[in-house]
């Protein structure tokens, strides 16, 4: 990469955003051109690319523009470090509260469905109860009586993953414990595996190919990105891929 400044069009293309978005960030004081050319075109320093990545990432995490402005200014503003930490910690607490609400709701819903299954069995008879249990297993991704299985195994069942046995373990072994970024985008999720690792990239492509014919998912795809390898899944069940990768990243996956 050279130190030559970039035009607004070049910067927009590098991060796949519109020039109108960059002009909006400029009006909000988040992104400042280095200078203008003799013809009046905005010229941005190379560092603007990292600034723009930071802005987009902070927005995905739910930070307000005013907060992002302060975060960008924090490094150079005397006494701003405490304010920056307060903003980040408050956002973290907000997410934790929402996450806790969802986890509690899921926990109670699972018990409610168990009770509902028993009720169906009593009212409609054993055969209807067994049919309802089969449906429950498909929807919730766990077996009757909560048979012991790892969270990763349950996720694979819910995904309907076609990988099995030694081949499956080889694929996930290449991805387990790897640092990644995950964000919601349009109707799905994007998972960025940072760095360059041919084995991990190959595993991502094998995972995408294995799910290509799965009726439960829109075919995921893998592309190369500047910061690593990008796995993208679309459709209403794409959240399962996000859960899968989170489980793989954890030490207990």
pTM above 0.75, yes or no: no
Cα–Cα–Cα angle for 152, 226, 207, rounded to 5 degrees = 30
Taking each continuous run of H as one helix and of E as one strand, the counts in the chain are 10, 7
CATH number given to 6-73: 1.10.1660.10
Distance CA 13, CA 89 (A): 33
Distance CA 246, CA 179 (A): 10
Distance CA 114, CA 136 (A): 9
pLDDT tens, residue by residue, 88-141: 888 888 888 888 888 788 777 777 877 777 776 666 666 666 666 665 565 555
Helix, coil or strand: residue 6: strand
Confidence of residue 193 (pLDDT cuts 50, 70, 90): very high
CB 146 within 8 A of CB 190: no
CA nearest to 32, candidates 18, 40, 22, 20: 22
Name every residue whose Cβ is closer than 8 Å to that of residue 148 and which is 6 or more positions away in sequence. none
pLDDT tens, residue by residue, 143-184: 444 433 455 566 666 666 666 556 677 788 889 888 889 998
pLDDT tens, residue by residue, 218-235: 788 999 888 899 999 888
Determine phi and psi for 61, rounding to 5 degrees: -85, 0
Q: What is the mean pLDDT of residues 79-84?
A: 68
Q: What is the pLDDT of residue 109?
A: 79
């Amino acid at each position: 990469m050279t130190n030559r400044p970039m035009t607004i069009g070049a910067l927009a293309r590098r991060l796949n955003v519109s020039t109108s978005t960059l002009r909006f960030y400029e009006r909000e004081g988040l992104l400042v051109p280095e200078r203008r050319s003799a013809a009046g075109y905005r010229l941005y320093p190379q560092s603007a690319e990292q600034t723009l990545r930071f802005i987009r990432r902070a927005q995905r995490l739910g930070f307000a523009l005013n907060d992002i402005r302060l975060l960008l200014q924090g490094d150079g503003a005397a006494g701003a470090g405490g304010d920056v930490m307060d903003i980040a910690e408050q956002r973290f607490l907000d997410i934790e509260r929402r996450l806790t609400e969802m986890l509690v709701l899921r926990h109670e819903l699972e018990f409610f469905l168990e009770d509902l299954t028993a009720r169906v069995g009593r009212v409609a008879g054993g055969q209807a109860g067994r049919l309802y249990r089969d449906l429950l297993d498909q929807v919730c991704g766990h077996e009757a009586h909560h048979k012991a299985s790892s969270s990763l195994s349950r996720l694979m069942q819910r995904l309907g993953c076609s990988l099995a046995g030694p081949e499956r373990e080889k694929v996930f072994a290449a991805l387990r414990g790897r640092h990644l970024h995950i964000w919601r985008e349009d109707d799905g999720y994007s998972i960025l595996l940072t760095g360059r690792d041919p084995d991990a990239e190959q595993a991502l492509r094998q995972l995408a190919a294995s799910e290509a014919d799965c009726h439960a998912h829109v075919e995921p795809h893998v592309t190369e990105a500047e910061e690593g390898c990008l796995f993208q899944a679309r459709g209403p069940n794409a959240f399962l891929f996000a859960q899968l990768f989170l489980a793989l990243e954890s030490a207990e996956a």
